[in-house]
Amino acid sequence: MNWDVVVVGAGIVGAACAHRLAHAGMNVLVLDEKGIGEGATAAGMGHIVVMDDNEPEFSLTHHSQMLWDTLDLPGDAERVHAGTLWVASDEEEMEGATRKQSGYLQRDLKAELVSAKALQQLEPHLRGGLEGGLLIPNDSVVYPPRVAAFLLEQSGVEVRKVAVSEILDQGVCLTSGEKIPAQHVVLATGVKSVQLIPELPIRPRKGHLAITDRMPGLLKHQLVELSYLKSAHGSDLDSVAFNVQPRSTGQVLIGSSRQFEAPDGKVDFQILGRMLKRATAFMPALHDVLVTRVWTGFRAATPDSLPLIGPHPARKGLVLATGHEGLGITTSLGTAELVCSHITGNPCALDPRPYLPTREVAHA
């Protein structure tokens, strides 16, 4: 079998790329040592969110969200249009919310400023004394591993549970020694990308999540503190931020934490404690809720917080689709469009330049 494309990595990014390339008529083979949706795809929150930190991120998340809206997902993908409610604690953050709103409105996205009183009505379990917020109703929630599996099922591509030991010029070598030639290789292995291509500027950024017992009706929207924007970017310090999400089961998913240089994937009770304290500070009702599971995962972070999407400058046939940090679920579909455009030469609605691996990386 002569493969047009071998996709390394069956997380949501690899699955979306395989789905898109198969749709474009390519023969696609997907390889993953662990199986479908086992890495960051299984660890994350599954928040489909438009982010406006910078123009390229805004474009990629916005375009991706439009693609999400075209998917006809099965029920067990648990897509819920919860919307994101960005919560402002003080006047400064409320000004930030107002600035944020104008950017969304300029792109014809729905964005509604919420007064302190309206915030209490929308989410009565939030603590009193908050300043207000910004509601982005089109944001949603999914269960990412199921989406990855669904995209692969839909595309009918072959998926093999094997480990790749080396990326070759136009092909890959497996740990078994078998070589698989292909016109193109797509590398979509998140933090593990550096195991195969050591020169990539990707660092693992550890995160913790906790999930509660079923508490139907505790919250309706994904709630994120606006200061998340300050804590989540540009700093190497360990940080936590209030970020909670209602699941369709009635459970509450509680985040978020960010750590560089974590020694391993074990639960770090100090940062978990900080994270849960932050959550209960915003939502005191969480004090009485039972957390039933806690886990960690690793985001693939790049120096400028933008993913690496496009041809590798020195390796024949290799296209990168990695470094999505905390936005890989949202941006998987837009990434797949870009990858498909790089491989087929057909134009893409997105400008590919900001994500090219050859870009001048401006440290965020």
Partner 1 sequence: MPEIQVNGQPLNVKAGISVLAALQNQGIWTTRTSVSGEPRGALCGMGVCFECRLQVDGKIQKACQLMVQQGMKVVLDAR
Q: What residues line the site for partner 1 (CB under 8 A)?
A: 213-214, 216, 249-250, 288-290, 292-293
Asked if 216 and 37 touch (Cβ cutoff 8 Å), the reply is no
Shortest Cβ distance from residue 290 to partner 1 (Å)? 5
Residue given tokens 């996205």 in the structure block: 109
Q: What is the DSSP string of 164-197?
A: EEEEETTEEEETTS-EEEEEEEEE--GGGHHHHS
Residue 13 sits at the vertex; the CA angle it makes with 12 and 19, to the nearest 5 degrees, is: 85
Shortest Cβ distance from residue 262 to partner 1 (Å)? 23
Shortest Cβ distance from residue 276 to partner 1 (Å)? 16
Asked if 299 and 359 touch (Cβ cutoff 8 Å), the reply is no
Which is nearest to 184 in space by CA: 317, 314, 310? 317
Asked if 9 and 16 touch (Cβ cutoff 8 Å), the reply is no
Q: Which is nearer to partner 1, 30 or 215 (CB)?
A: 215
Single-letter amino acid, residue 56: P
Q: Which is nearer to partner 1, 1 or 290 (CB)?
A: 290
Shortest Cβ distance from residue 292 to partner 1 (Å)? 4
Q: Which is nearer to partner 1, 287 or 363 (CB)?
A: 287
Shortest Cβ distance from residue 99 to partner 1 (Å)? 40
Q: Which is nearer to partner 1, 113 or 211 (CB)?
A: 211
Residues in contact with 172: Cβ distance below 8 Å, sequence separation at least 6, in sequence order: 6, 8, 31, 164, 166, 179, 180, 182, 185
Q: Which is nearer to partner 1, 102 or 249 (CB)?
A: 249
CB atoms near residue 296 (< 10 Å):
19
Q: Which is nearer to partner 1, 108 or 288 (CB)?
A: 288
Q: Which is nearer to partner 1, 260 or 295 (CB)?
A: 295
Residues in contact with 84: Cβ distance below 8 Å, sequence separation at least 6, in sequence order: 47, 49, 135, 136, 139, 221, 222, 224
Distance (Å, whole) CA 326 – CA 312: 22
Shortest Cβ distance from residue 48 to partner 1 (Å)? 22
Shortest Cβ distance from residue 215 to partner 1 (Å)? 8
